Structure 1
Amino acid sequence: MANIKNCLKKKNTIIYKMEQEFTKATRYNSISERNKTRPYSVRASLNNWAALAEELVDLKAKVHETNAKKGMLRSIFLLSELKNQAAKLKGLDCAEGVVTSRYDSTETVKHVEVNVLEKDAMLLALEARIEELEDKLDRFNHETIVEGV
């Protein structure tokens, strides 16, 4: 039995091991005819990679089932969307007034609907919601046991 926090750590370890196995396969599959010695078997690495993928899928399914049973999927999806919104909002152009082009030194007068102060306030509100959700999910992940792991 493991809590979700430990399952997520295990997931990252499996992903890392999968990357290592596939790197071995790609690095040592096609070698010089003069160098007939391979430090790793490509077939064995590919088999390990596939077995680790199965283990990863099983672990992800168990974590997902636990999250679904405990009603946490909405919070997980909302957190993802709020982070996406914050990232997009950070890139919102709020330049207004006379703006000089970097490329040809032309000047343009720009007007914004949402100014930089409003954008910053929106970002602060999003970041507060994100932090609140992360705290909720961290507590849940620490306290919740995943059956069969």
Structure 2
Amino acid sequence: MTHPVGREHDRVTFFLHNRSVRHQEPAMTTKAHFTTLPAGREPVLRVMPMPADANIHGDVFGGWIMSQVDIAGSIPAARRAAGRVATVAVNAFQFKKPVFVGDLLSFYAEVVKTGSTSVTVEVEVYAQRQRLDAEIVKVTDATLTYVATDEARRSRPLPSL
């Protein structure tokens, strides 16, 4: 019988030794559900996490994903505000599936609400796994609120459309 840690070591190549992590998910008895990227929409950001963004098992840190979501959400917010914005709230954030080193992440963001100075944005994140089947999975959903700011970093009204 193999020790559980030995099995884990066999499944994961530690980046401390190789500077890369290859994640292998356990064999499944049922076919995985495949998702597709949102049709008719362009991602506002695409990025591939590197070993420095992950723990020794190849799982990308949640805080790294959160910072990328904040960047992605700020793009349509700044466009709507026609200038500088600042994050004022993370209204909702859900990690649905793990993200691994080498996944190609696509961030989709759209404005869902505006106030007199604020812009609320929903962000969806999809991962394209770097395996032969190139499975695509939704990994994160988030809703963030940004406020339009002036040069002195004080809130300012949104321009009319």
TM-score, normalized by the shorter chain, greater than 0.5:
no
The bucket for the TM-score relative to the shorter chain is under 0.3
Higher share in strand? 2
Provide the TM-score with structure 1 as the length reference. 0.21
Which gives a bigger RCO, structure 1 or 2 (Cα 8 Å, sep 6+)? Answer: 1
Larger-Rg structure: 1
Q: Specify which structure has the higher proportion of helix.
A: 1
